Amino acid sequence: MLPRSGHISSSLVVAAISSIAFGLVAGGGGIANLPPAADPARTSGQGSILIQYGLDLPEGYAIRITANGRPEPFKADCCHLGDLEYYNKIGPILYSSGKMAVLDSSQTSYTACKSNTRYTTQISSPPAGTTVCFTGHGLVASVQITQVTPTGSGHYLSLSVIVWNDY
């Protein structure tokens, strides 16, 4: 429904296009099977799992990991303000505005992510199978790249995410 003036604000249009692009990448990707918010009693305490989910992160998009662990996608125009951002202009690069480190171990856990302090703001050409740990906002997240989709199908990363409480 249009506003009474008959005009739609440009920010409303951008938000709608961003939501559609994020949700429709790769024929219906976006956030897959996101469970309901976790029960606070079940997720209290440092190192307790808040949420697990899969998502497709298109090139030029970013996510913020919110206080309850859920991703908040947005179109990333500049400045690397997202917790995780994906660009593929001169090759695939994953950026972070927070503490991000590649996990060397095949064992993904809260402890493995917390003990990895080789922080970086970008990872060039991350292959499928790479696991990145993100720390910030009172959360620790393990983000495994399960698939890198090349040109032709649209650039995107398929991710498997586990978020732990860090309080």
In the predicted model, what is the mean pLDDT of the chain? 76
CB contact at 8 A, 61 and 85: yes
Q: For the chain, what are the domain ranges?
A: 10-165
Look at residue 52 in the predicted model and tell me its pLDDT. 96
pLDDT, tens digit (0-9, with 9 covering 90-100), for 26-36 = 334 444 444 44
The pTM for the full model equals 0.72
Three-state secondary structure along the chain? Answer: CCCCCCCCCHHHHHHHHHHHHHHHHHHHCCEECCCCCCCCCCCCCCCCEEEEEEEEEECCEEEEECCCCCEEEEECCCCCCCCEEEECCCCCEEEEEEEEEECCCCCCCHHHHHHCCCCEEEEECCCCCCEEEEEECCEEEEEEEEEEECCCCCCEEEEEEEEEECC
**Which region among 28-32, 66-70, 123-127 has the lowest average model confidence (pLDDT)?**
28-32
Look at residue 153 in the predicted model and tell me its pLDDT. 63
Look at residue 27 in the predicted model and tell me its pLDDT. 37
Look at residue 104 in the predicted model and tell me its pLDDT. 85
Look at residue 81 in the predicted model and tell me its pLDDT. 77
Mean pLDDT, residues 82-92: 85
